[in-house]
Amino acid sequence: MAKRPGSVNLKKRIPRLCHTTTRGLGWHVNFRDPETGVAKKHRFSVETETEAKVAYTQWLARHLAGEADEGASAKPRVVRASGGGPAIAPGSLVEVASGLIRLMEASVREDGAPRARGTVARPVFVDRQKHIKDFLAFINKRHGKGTAARMQVEDLAMTDVELFNRHLVDKGYSASQVGKRMQMVKRIIDRAGRPEHGQQRLAWNWDSRDIAHGKPSTRRALPTVKQLEKLLAATDDRGRAMIWLGIGLGFGAADLSVLRVGQIDAEAYDLRRGKTGIERFGTTPPLVWRTVSAYVADQCRKEGELVFITRDGMPLVHARSNAVTQWWSKLRIKIGEKPKTLSGFYVMRHLGATEFGSRRGTSIAEMKRWLGHSAASETADVYMRPLPPENKAVVEWVRKRLLDAG
């Protein structure tokens, strides 16, 4: 018999009584909320099948009558995202991830503040936030727009995680970068176990998934003597001071941005590295002091003022702006080099660490203090070893320049 125009199928799907030992569910029913369309579970706190059938019959009568399911493991009503976005279901990937992002943002420490346990620098937070959003975008692309706002974390399949892992490897990320992104996925899953998210747990073992590692870290190539001579000749006094601070004291962009007049003199330097919070002090190489002191005097910097600032009077690194990276990129182009032939400014620190670690009698404690690191074994493995033949020329050239009393 043909349907009449405008008629609808009023037949309701009857939820079935189920039993499983997975995640300790026991006797339960799966159903869809008639108002929001969100998939839910109702658990029956009973032991035997007979008790479960009685409880199920009573629940089904209320459900078919449209009564509120007070005893279900139901969550608050679906929230509509601002700006007309997709509905965000309680306990969904988006809701749990949003809570995680808010938690991480609350732990961001102020620029220049000492490193305290449980705090992160803002650039680290920004990176982690992007990792989370990339994962949510992957889920939406794989299952359809808005899926991440509806999918419960406990419904996340092992295949989803493994394919995201493979997606990262295919994009060419290093093993370290792949690990950082997968760590954010694990934090979303762990956070779903909180009571406000329904104490969700995966039906599968995280450690049993197939793991794909990224590319191994490539050895950073040191600049040649010819490249260093070009860099020093093509830049100004400010640039030369930054280059020799990078080589002589191992300063990165963040270190240069917080260096103040008075923290370094002709004999020694004493400051704390912002990234790790570890004290750094030692002897100032003669060339470093001559270069920095001449720049400070030329700029009329006073005691306690920042040594380097931008044209607008801001620190070199602030918010998401990095004046050191911008300056280095322009300088590299100016001397006819490319990222493949001369990497970022951080290579100056790597060059300096190679020179310092190869000095006769250098201890692991001294190497750690120079770098501002705490990992002794990693420090020794990377820098405290005999010089490769291809690096001897540039290291000896740098050592002779640094220690030249002039």
Using CA atoms, how far apart are residues 150 and 132, in angstroms rounded to an integer? 16
pLDDT at 218: 66
Residue 88 has pLDDT above 60, yes or no: yes
Residue 343 has pLDDT above 90, yes or no: yes
Nearest to 250 by CA among 402, 391, 108: 402
pLDDT at 39: 75
pLDDT at 273: 64
pLDDT at 247: 97
pLDDT in tens, 363-397: 888 888 888 876 665 666 678 777 888 899 999 99
pLDDT at 79: 47
pLDDT band at residue 352 under the 50/70/90 scheme:
very high
pLDDT band at residue 68 under the 50/70/90 scheme:
low
CB 125 within 8 A of CB 105: yes
Domain limits of the chain? 17-64, 79-208, 225-402
Residue 298 has pLDDT above 60, yes or no: yes
Nearest to 397 by CA among 356, 337, 355, 344: 355
pLDDT in tens, 155-184: 999 999 999 999 999 998 888 899 999 999
Residues 6+ positions from 75 with CB-CB distance below 8 Å: 40, 89, 90, 91, 198
- What is the torsional sign of CA 348, 350, 353, 355? negative
Mean pLDDT of all residues in 303-331: 91
**Segments in 157-300 forming alpha helices (H):** 158-170, 175-191, 225-234, 237-248, 253-258, 286-299
User: Under CATH, what is the fold of the domain 225-402?
Assistant: hpI Integrase; Chain A (1.10.443)
pLDDT at 26: 79
pLDDT in tens, 121-130: 888 899 999 9
CB 128 within 8 A of CB 184: yes
Residue 299 has pLDDT above 60, yes or no: yes
pLDDT in tens, 266-281: 999 988 766 666 778 8
Mean pLDDT of all residues in 273-297: 86
Q: How many CB atoms lie within 10 A of CB 52?
A: 20
Residue located via tokens 């009571």: 195
pLDDT at 388: 84
pLDDT in tens, 222-264: 999 999 999 999 999 999 999 999 999 999 998 899 899 999 9
pLDDT at 110: 82
pLDDT in tens, 175-217: 889 999 999 999 999 999 998 888 999 999 999 999 998 877 6
Mean pLDDT of all residues in 338-365: 91
Using CA atoms, how far apart are residues 307 and 261, in angstroms rounded to an integer? 6
pLDDT in tens, 100-159: 999 999 998 887 676 678 888 888 899 999 999 999 999 999 999 899 999 999 999 999
pLDDT band at residue 22 under the 50/70/90 scheme:
low
The reported pTM is 0.60
